[in-house]
């Protein structure tokens, strides 16, 4: 089995990039991808450890996008070049937007009477990408909340008084930059929205395919069996590659395990070959294309 959707301390996970390799080996996985939110800064350690341990570590990233209709998407980039200039430029811009949002959330919390500072939140963040899970952790340390779920449900989640919407690029721009970095663009957890229907999923997959989407994450910890079956059907009909992953974040979600999700996830090793073949074909096609003037 494999796991192509995991997070480390470089973003909002609690395991270091090196620890992910150890956990993957202990879980008897044959490959794992590090797909931190909006950053590649953990990939050097991750890939170095994978090489040292003769393990199949795959460089990735997870980017959030929103289209003109305010539909949100998460796009995974797999088999990317971590230091590609266009990708790094995008992550720097997203980091600036994140920091602006964090300051706005803190200001709202302070107005609501929750005395918490940026410095206290930064103590909960080991990497450069500070997000709401770190804010939730700081709220727990301050004994304002008991759990991360409570922090999201009562204070910083969508619809709560301290919620602030993120500024993000378009899905098309995410896909373009992932391609520029030599990677494949994958629609992550397509059924993560409670309102997502099979018909709507198909419509959005077609929209993303027109923008260059390469694949769909059919196997996912929270997908029901019928949703996985439908995602696989969409992939076949639209000639998209299939991936899968747990969305592992470490102890932030203690019942969510690397490789097996909530216990039923099984992502077949056989998915890797077509994934790599598609990436190699795309790379060859780029080399054969004339350089724009």
The closest of 41, 62, 15, 34 to 174, measured between CA atoms, is: 62
Confidence at 283, pLDDT banded by 50, 70, 90: confident
Share of the chain above pLDDT 70, in %: 98
Instruction: Report the pLDDT averaged over residues 138-156.
Output: 93
Count structural domains, the chain: 2
Asked whether 12 and 131 are in contact (CB, 8 A), the reply is yes
Query: Does 193 share its domain with 81?
Result: yes
Phi first, then psi, for residue 34 (nearest 5°) are -95, 115
Q: For residue 196, is it within any domain?
A: yes
Domain limits for position 141:
93-156
Q: Enter the DSSP assignment of 166.
A: P
Residue 210 lies in a domain: yes
Residues 150 and 206 in one domain: no
The secondary element (H helix, E strand) that includes residue 207 is: helix 198-210
Over residues 233-250, mean pLDDT: 96
135 and 275 together in one domain = no
pLDDT at 287 over 80: no
Write the CB contacts of 146 (distance below 8 Å, at least 6 apart in sequence). Answer: 140
Check which CATH number belongs to the domain holding 118 and give it.
1.10.150
Residues 59 and 24 in one domain: yes
Per-residue pLDDT at 291: 53
CB count within 10 Å of CB 259 equals 22
Distance CA 168, CA 150 (A): 25
Q: Are residues 102 and 58 in the same domain?
A: no
* Residue 230 confidence (pLDDT): 96
Specify the pLDDT at position 290: 58
Residue located via tokens 């696989």: 232
Per-state percent for the chain, helix, strand, coil, to nearest 5: 45, 15, 40
- The residue with tokens 């170095």 is 48
Residue 31 lies in a domain: yes
- State mean pLDDT over 201-220: 96
User: Does residue 147 surpass a pLDDT of 60?
Assistant: yes
Does 81 share its domain with 143?
A: no
- Per-residue confidence (pLDDT) for residue 192, from 0 to 100: 87
The answer to whether residue 162 is domain-embedded is no
Q: Is residue 165 part of a domain?
A: no
CATH at residue 284: 3.20.20.140
In a domain, 163, yes or no: no
The answer on 190 and 78 residing in a single domain is yes
Average pLDDT, the chain: 93
258 domain residue, yes or no: yes
Asked whether residue 101 carries a pLDDT value surpassing 80, the answer given is: yes
Does residue 72 sit in the same domain as residue 191? yes
The torsion angles phi and psi of 283, rounded to 5 degrees, stand at: -65, -40
Q: Are the beta carbons of 49 and 21 closer than 8 angstroms? A: yes
- Contact, 6 vs 245, CB < 8 A? yes
Structure tokens given for 179:
């391609």
Q: Summarize the confidence of residues 52-75 as an average pLDDT.
A: 94
74 and 97 co-located in one domain:
no
CB 171, CB 178: distance < 8 Å: no
At residue 113, does pLDDT exceed 70?
A: yes
Domain closes at, from 107, 133, 156: 156
Quickly state the pLDDT bin for 253 (edges 50, 70, 90).
confident
- Check whether 255 has a pLDDT greater than 50: yes
Helix (H) / strand (E) containing 98? helix 85-111
Do 198 and 284 share a domain, yes or no? Answer: yes
Which among 127, 156, 185 is the end of a domain?
Answer: 156
For residue 282, being part of any structural domain is answered with: yes
Phi, psi at residue 259, to the nearest 5°? 85, -45
Q: Are residues 145 and 235 in the same domain?
A: no
- For residue 292, pLDDT over 80 is answered with no
Q: Are residues 117 and 40 in the same domain?
A: no
The pLDDT score that the predictor gives to residue 293 is 38
């Amino acid at each position: 089995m494999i796991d192509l959707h995991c997070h480390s301390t470089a973003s909002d996970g609690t395991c270091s990039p090196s620890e992910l390799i150890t956990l993957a080996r202990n879980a008897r996985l044959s490959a794992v991808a590090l797909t931190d939110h909006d950053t590649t800064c953990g990939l050097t350690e991750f890939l170095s450890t994978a090489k040292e341990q003769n393990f199949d570590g795959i460089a990735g990233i997870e980017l959030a996008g929103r289209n003109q209709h305010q539909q949100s998407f998460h796009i995974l980039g797999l088999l990317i070049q971590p230091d590609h200039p266009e990708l790094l430029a995008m992550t720097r811009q997203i980091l600036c937007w994140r920091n602006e949002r964090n300051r706005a959330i803190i200001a709202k919390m302070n107005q609501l009477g929750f005395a918490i500072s940026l410095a206290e939140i930064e103590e909960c963040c080991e990497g450069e990408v500070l997000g709401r899970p770190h804010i939730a952790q700081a709220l727990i340390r301050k004994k304002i909340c008991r759990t991360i779920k409570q922090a999201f449900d009562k204070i910083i989640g969508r619809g709560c008084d301290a919620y602030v919407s993120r500024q993000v690029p378009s899905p098309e721009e995410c896909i373009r930059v992932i391609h520029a970095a030599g990677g494949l663009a994958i629609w992550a957890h397509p059924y993560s929205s409670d309102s997502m229907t099979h018909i709507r999923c198909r419509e959005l997959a077609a929209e993303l395919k027109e923008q260059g989407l390469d694949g769909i994450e059919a196997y996912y910890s929270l997908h029901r069996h019928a949703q996985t079956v439908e995602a696989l059907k969409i992939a076949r009909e639209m000639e998209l590659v299939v991936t899968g992953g747990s969305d592992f974040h470490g102890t932030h979600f203690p019942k969510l395990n690397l490789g097996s999700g909530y216990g039923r996830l099984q992502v077949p090793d056989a998915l890797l070959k077509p994934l790599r073949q598609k990436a190699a074909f795309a790379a060859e096609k780029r080399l054969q294309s004339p350089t724009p003037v």
